[in-house]
Amino acid sequence: MSLKVYINGQLLDKENAKISVYDHGLLYGDGVFEGMRSYGGKVFRLKQHLDRLWNSAKTIWLEIPMSRDDMAKAVNDTLAANQIKDGYIRLVVTRGAGTLGLDPNRCSHPQVIIITDKIELYPEDFYRNGLEIITASTMRNHPAALNPRIKSLNYLNNILAKIEGLKAGCIEALMLNQKGEVAEATGDNIFLVRGGVLQTPPLDAGILEGITRDAVIELARGAGIEVREMPLTRHDVYIADECFLTGSAAEVIPVVKIDNRAIGDGKPGPITRDLIARFRKLTRE
């Protein structure tokens, strides 16, 4: 069965799902997106994802041409049409087709695209044994230039850091902000454990406010684990007892080595393993 892709109210075969080469999403990265997961046919935290999408769109003066309720229905209908229970959803809103100039007022109307598919970001082995990552030299976007809380279609900043990681033999890389503080990985938020306390960079460190990040903070606090959102440096990462990343696609994944330094004893720690189990219970049940 060919996968169906939603474009502006129509479900089209994957092969026929096309938008204009003049779309400013392609020409200039002018648009916003969300990556979501579904478990048992239900989208995890759909409302929070749509809230973030609308906030991103509002910040870049992009009018989404449908209501949140209609968008939620379109997402669920696309999942159902593809008979996907446990999958990944990519929701994209572009500025629409325009001229070769930058002027967004010359774009016809925004394009709403919903892609649903299977995803396996990391092999199960990495969840058991942990990832090795490096610190990228590519800095996170300066918040005064482009606010990292906007989930825009221009991901070149993250892609360049990802390439650095891949060239070093790692599938993820840590990014620092303009102050040299820890921000996030190329596609995930970062958490440390030190002395039983969970630490993670605050929103003003130049990070995307992750939906999975927020869920993990809630789970940790519910389990009686102290959580501190605080500025962190590479030194804090190197001396941490545990480290893990969170993201919609990655869920919760341990990091056991960074910049050739073992984190803790070089194995996923007890708090990390506990939060992986709690997150899986939350999403699967």
Please give the full DSSP string across 158-204, using - where no structure is assigned.
Answer: HHHHHHHHHHTT-S-EEEE-TTS-EEEESSSEEEEEETTEEEE--GG
From 151, 162, 257, 281, active-site residue = 151
CA distance 239 to 261: 9
Q: What is the pLDDT of residue 67?
A: 98
Q: What is the pLDDT of residue 250?
A: 94
- pTM attached to this predicted model: 0.96
Burial class of residue 229 in the structure, from the number of CB atoms within 10 Å of its CB (0-12 exposed, 13-18 middle, 19+ buried): middle
Tokens of 236: 């804090």
Q: Which of 235, 232, 240, 182 is nearest to 207 (CA)?
A: 182
Q: What is the pLDDT of residue 71?
A: 98
CA distance 64 to 75: 15
CA distance 198 to 187: 20
Q: What is the pLDDT of residue 119?
A: 83
Domains of the chain: 4-117 (3.30.470.10), 124-284 (3.20.10.10)
The alpha-helical segments, DSSP class H, found in 37-93 are 46-59, 68-81
Q: What is the pLDDT of residue 120?
A: 78
151 an active-site residue? Answer: yes
Which helix (H) or strand (E) segment holds residue 117: the answer is strand 111-117
Q: DSSP secondary-structure letter at 93?
A: E
CA distance 33 to 75: 13
Q: What is the pLDDT of residue 21?
A: 97
Which of the residues in the chain have pLDDT under 50? none
Q: What is the pLDDT of residue 39?
A: 95
CA-angle at 150, arms to 143 and 163, nearest 5°: 80
